[in-house]
Amino acid sequence: MRVGSLTVIDRDFVETSNLQRQLLFTEEDAREALPKAEAARRRLQEINSRVTVTAHIDDLTPANAAALLSGADVLLDATDNFETRYLLNDFAIESGTPWIYAAAIGSYAATMNILPGETACLACLFSEPPGGTVETCDTAGILGTAVTVASSLQVTEAIKLLTGQAGQMRRTLLSLDVWTGERSEVSAREPRPGCPVCGLRQFRHLRGEGRPHITLCGRNSVQIHEHGRPVNFAALAERLRPLGTVRHNDLLLRFSYGEYTLSVFPDGRTVVQGTAEVARARALYARFVGS
């Protein structure tokens, strides 16, 4: 048995701060601000050229979830926000695709297997995304070993599934603190009666209800969505060059203006760094990229 194809989806680009916990990336990737999906694809192809690796430099949204995820044997969550995780949960339950949740924050790691029709889903245990004040990688950071533990456990469970040994997969939400050694498990053996997603099949995240602008963890940034509006990097660079510092390749254009940096992707999606205020980010986007 071997993995024949792998799809990597990521909306972000490599920065130096990623390198202590992201083993696929290099300092050169950070200097080039290479999109993470493409950097991962290149490195994985160097490790095993027989595997077909496809990179999608994109944000996973309700509009493109089916196109990007359909046909997968298993979905692995390596995201940094609950909006995307609940979208994954909706898609997995609606399509019957197994997915494996994993998270890391500070020295804490967690993972859970979701097998549609067999186990609890994410909404069975947490009916709503966390609200109020919660730790983020801005406030708590992320210990590299916590990421390694979470991902190792996640991949081991995926191997069980792909080798036809789903019966050996854990039926709990497992969490542990790699610093203190504290560990806990919550049963996820069966779906919760009345669960709005796997019980009532109400896929509101897949329908995009109330989807917010997503700030990027650890980055004091806001992501501005543009729906399929292509950007001519050469023309945009020429227009912006008198106003600040511009550099670009075929995959990304970065424009620095004072304390702000706008990273523009070919489809118009833009990460505005230097503010977490959506209104300010949208104003900068409209001023420099266009509304």
Residue 112 CB: number of other CB atoms within 10 A?
A: 27
Domain boundary assignment for the chain: 60-187, 215-288
* Spatial contact of 45 and 69, defined as CB atoms under 8 Å apart: no
* Whether CATH 3.40.640.10 fits 60-187: no
Structure tokens at 288: 């420099």
Which burial class, exposed, middle or buried, applies to 245 when counting CB atoms under 10 A from its CB (0-12, 13-18, 19+)? Answer: exposed
Tell me the sheet residues that pair with 113.
100
Same fold yes or no, 60-187 and 215-288: no
Report the greatest alpha carbon distance in the chain. Answer: 62
Mind listing the pLDDT tens digit for each residue in 76-96? Answer: 999 877 889 999 999 999 999
**pTM for the model:** 0.79
What sign results for the dihedral spanned by CA atoms 130, 135, 136, 141? negative
What number does CATH give the domain 215-288? 3.30.310
Q: What is the mean predicted confidence (pLDDT) over 158-178?
A: 96
* Spatial contact of 123 and 195, defined as CB atoms under 8 Å apart: yes
Q: Is the pLDDT at 7 greater than 60, yes or no?
A: yes
- Residue 131 is predicted with a pLDDT of 55
Q: What is the mean predicted confidence (pLDDT) over 167-181?
A: 96
- What sections of 126-166 are H helices per DSSP? 137-140, 144-162
Distance CA 70, CA 95 (A): 8
Mind listing the pLDDT tens digit for each residue in 194-241? Answer: 999 999 999 999 988 756 556 666 668 888 875 556 888 999 999 899
